[in-house]
Amino acid sequence: MVLFYHAEQCLMNYPRIWLNELMRLAGEIKSTACYMFEYRNNAGINTLFDAFYWTIVTLATVGFGDITPQTAGGRWVTIFLILASLGVLSFFTSILIAAFSEKMLSIRESRTYAALEHFDNFIIICGFGRVGQEIARHLHEEQNRFVVIDKSPEKVALAKLRGYLAIENDASNNAVLLNAGICRGASVILCITGDDVVNVYITLTSRHLNKGLRIISRANRHDNVNKLYQAGANQVIRPFEIAGMLAAEFVGQPVAFEAISGILQSQSDIVMESVLVSEKSPLEDQNIGQLDLGQRKLTLLGVISANPIHLKHKNKYQVNQQHFYFNPAEQFILRHGDILVLLGRKFGIDHFRDQVERRRLFARKPA
């Protein structure tokens, strides 16, 4: 797709390049060479102007015909007519190529829309910058269905080169989102462009078109978070603030940095998973310090809870009707329904989850 795009651009500019470069370089060379070889051979080329005229007629493929101008004025008129006709021809050629390229873009979008009609429960990614590319890569690896919408031809070509469905258009446009299936099969839309204003517009449009759609929006500035929630976002992510909090909270903790680094570098054995504190779980009524996560080579990223008893703790961020308590203190007491968000190697988290479940089942057995 990238090669096709560049070839298309070259075709659109070809008439101008042909006139400006080919006529200039080839004309100068052929005029000079023709004069040097023919001016003494009685071929009708006695001056540099004669050689220049002959070159223009030859390059334009006009031919010499039965009637040829003999005076300098007549030849100048002939040269002007030739160049003017070439200019008109080039102009109409560029119009045809531009129309053809627009039609090809429309055909490609129609094929994408037709493919989306057969999808259910897919994801719409609005914006294919650094964040969008990482999200698309993970979704592709997990074999999730999604479509990318971006206004940049280069980014859309990159998405198609990687094998993703992509649409080159404005995601804040109602018609674009409707054709992309926002009311037909989409379950989640990600508004993750680099511009907060654009993200607000896409969020407003998406919520207006589909009241039950899950919308995740990106905020680059803290003062735009509330605007995105008011526009209808279910969750708002702040990538730069999250990166800063991780660096500040986990400095000096090598296990945490190992886990985070492993996730960023796509190491297969480093994961981030959740563990539910279920009813009668051995984790219930225990504080964070009693879990011995450090000895298990696990790191607690945070706790998701709807229990109002936790509201006194700091570093809390609202997530729908719950709160996410980032890096809670050791005195944080777990309650029924809380969710632990753990970082570590997959087998370590699986082993911890199995141990918790075994202890819960053993405690439920009658004496």
CATH of the domain at 94: 1.10.287
Same domain, 14 and 70: yes
Query: Is residue 272 a part of any domain in this protein?
Result: yes
Helices 48-59 and 23-38: angle between axes, nearest 10 degrees: 130
287 has a pLDDT exceeding 60:
yes
Q: Tell me what the pLDDT averaged over the chain comes to.
A: 75
Residue 239: per-residue pLDDT: 72
Q: Which of these three, 107, 128, 151, is where a domain ends?
A: 107
Question: CATH no. for residue 222?
Answer: 3.40.50.720
Same domain, 230 and 287: no
Same domain, 255 and 183: no
**Cα dihedral 288, 290, 296, 299 in deg (nearest 10):** 10
Question: CATH no. for residue 319?
Answer: 3.30.70.1450
Using 50, 70 and 90 to split pLDDT, how confident is the model at 3? very low
> pLDDT (tens digit, 9 = 90+) per residue, 250-285?
566 665 566 566 555 555 567 778 888 888 888 888
Range(s) of the domain holding residue 347: 241-364
> pLDDT (tens digit, 9 = 90+) per residue, 131-176?
889 889 888 888 888 999 998 989 988 998 998 888 888 888 888 8
Same domain, 282 and 187: no
C-alpha angle 63-67-69 in degrees, rounded to nearest 5: 90
User: 199, 181, 182: which is closest to 126 by C-alpha?
Assistant: 199
Which whole number is the average pLDDT over 350-366? 77
Q: Could you identify the residue written with the tokens 């990318």?
A: 148
363 has a pLDDT exceeding 80:
no
Q: Which of these three, 237, 259, 285, is where a domain ends?
A: 237
Using 50, 70 and 90 to split pLDDT, how confident is the model at 1? very low
Same domain, 330 and 360: yes
Same domain, 319 and 347: yes
Q: Which of these three, 197, 219, 237, is where a domain ends?
A: 237
C-alpha angle 34-37-40 in degrees, rounded to nearest 5: 115
Count the domains in the chain: 3
Structure tokens at 328: 């809670």
H, E, C per residue of 140-164: HHCCCCEEEEECCHHHHHHHHHCCC
Same domain, 97 and 58: yes
**SS3 for 239?**
helix
Same domain, 100 and 184: no
Residue 117: per-residue pLDDT: 74
Query: Is residue 114 a part of any domain in this protein?
Result: no
Residue 150: per-residue pLDDT: 92
Same domain, 312 and 337: yes
Same domain, 257 and 214: no
Query: Is residue 307 a part of any domain in this protein?
Result: yes
Query: Is residue 113 a part of any domain in this protein?
Result: no
Same domain, 202 and 249: no
Cα distance between residue 303 and residue 328, in whole Å: 7
The CA-atom distances, in angstroms, between 73 and each of 5, 54, 76 are 45, 14, 5
CB half-sphere exposure, 363, CA atoms < 13 A: 12
Same domain, 245 and 208: no
Query: Is residue 218 a part of any domain in this protein?
Result: yes
Residue 11: per-residue pLDDT: 41
